[in-house]
Structure 1
């Protein structure tokens, strides 16, 4: 009888363990899916991030002459791309522009040209990921196809928004932290 009782307890224990494991597994899957959704809302698929340091100096120089800064080129969806920002004085304010640049890359022979993807360029808030300043562009709808041709020796001319926002709006919105802006570039699949 003791042996039967131990076997029954073992079976009950295994059954309880299996049920608990299934329950925990379902919860883990649900949490993972929720996390994935929130990451996609924040940055979406194929997002590249660039932390532009030295904001205050760039801004000061822009009051004297137009300034540009370019992210290091990175690969996304096979394309080698970078993000370019421009700051230039317009009356008493500084206009902030944001652009996609396409560079020659290893995969160019296998990619579709002209580039025809939808892309989003913008600035992420350092503490509140729901706060974003961005623009979305559909390269396939652009009348200007030159920036989207296969690049030859150097990167193509940038394409984006020459007046995404102003330096004052960036600072008033709390987007600068430790003299750094968090910029992103996302290509839609």
Structure 2
């Protein structure tokens, strides 16, 4: 008797026969099964179809196609028994998966990326003792380099010993070679310490020591001669510096600062003289200097301020005309706040060619010079602004025109 379900699908025997006789493909046709037959034979086929999934034969619970069962039992079944390909020990499938990646016999690449493959259990030993990329200290300087570069470093290491090029027995560090050659090498040629003074000795270091002991007197003479030459050079340099800083226009504006203190000093002591910077009438002209007695000199002592001019020995005196014949004028500036109301004091003179003061000076110039002992009275200094902010300005001008200021 047919069931209700069968009667629903197959309403009559003829329909059932027609349907069950239909030719169909295996439901695993896409997986590769080539079976094709009547529908009524499909169920029997599936009981043997190698592509149909069945429970794992090892009872791991997985549904595995028959065609893959052997691979599953051999490689993926958690309940399979298998040996590690590296150490040979037998494990269950799940234990083998945990063991893989931790097996001490498995070859792995060096963590320093040297390219070597070593068993996992030997990696630490390899890194410490055999790896070409391990860090090792240079035996000369102590700096750390990889094993494959430390030799190249040693060829240029600054602390590596090198043979002395003078072939002495020493082997100084590379960075100390220059100092060795300069200060210590017994085979090198050295110069005498007094070579700048003129000693021409040249020999080995032991010979230099003997030379120093035997030539002390000679060296002393050389040093004395050098000191004399240097003193002359210094004098020449001082003169050159003085000429560069000196006026060469024939005029000097002399700024006398600390006037009150200087005046007090002049009144307390006799003959206190202030001297100006030197100046020239031209680049190659006469060399001159002014002097000032704030408390007076000679006829102006204690009542007037005295001014003088001196002719000093110059570098170009041999080319100049003598006696000196230029007009000399002194101007004491009134520092009034209104220039239009200023009243300067001016005195000048034309040198007499018979005066000794204006002949060509010797190495020792005239002690006083020539000028005005009563240039301006102390009373006059108080009446106007000749001294302002404790400063006084005095101009000395030399003019070849022989025009006298009145």
Q: TM-score interval w.r.t. the shorter chain? A: 0.5 to 0.7
Q: 1:81 and 1:91, CA in 2 relative to 1: closer, same or farther beyond 3 A? A: closer
Relative to its length, the structure with more strand (as a share) is 1
Matched with 2:365 is 155
Q: Once the 2 structures are TM-superposed, how far is the Cα of residue 96 of structure 1 from its aligned partner?
A: 0.5
For the residues of structure 2 that align with 1:96 and 1:168, how far apart are their CA atoms? 10
Does 1:62 find its partner at 2:272? no
- Mapping of 1:1-189 within 5 angstroms? 46-66=250-270, 67-77=272-282, 78-88=285-295, 93-127=302-336, 128=339, 130-140=342-352, 145-156=355-366, 157-189=368-400
Q: Once the 2 structures are TM-superposed, how far is the Cα of residue 68 of structure 1 from its aligned partner?
A: 1.3
For the residues of structure 2 that align with 1:79 and 1:131, how far apart are their CA atoms? 30
For the residues of structure 1 that align with 2:386 and 2:397, how far apart are their CA atoms? 19
Q: Retained in 1: the 8 A contact 2:331–2:344?
A: yes
For the residues of structure 2 that align with 1:47 and 1:131, how far apart are their CA atoms? 20
TM-score for the superposition, normalised by structure 1: 0.67
State how many pairs are aligned. 143
Q: Retained in 2: the 8 A contact 1:100–1:121?
A: no
Any stretches of 5+ residues in structure 2 without a counterpart? 1-248, 401-406
Q: Once the 2 structures are TM-superposed, how far is the Cα of residue 53 of structure 1 from its aligned partner?
A: 1.1
Greater Rg, structure 1 or structure 2? 2
Matched with 1:14 is none
Q: Once the 2 structures are TM-superposed, how far is the Cα of residue 92 of structure 1 from its aligned partner?
A: 10
For the residues of structure 2 that align with 1:187 and 1:163, how far apart are their CA atoms? 20
**More deviation, 62-71/110-119:** 62-71
Q: Retained in 2: the 8 A contact 1:62–1:94?
A: no
Q: 1:91 and 1:83, CA in 2 relative to 1: closer, same or farther beyond 3 A? A: closer
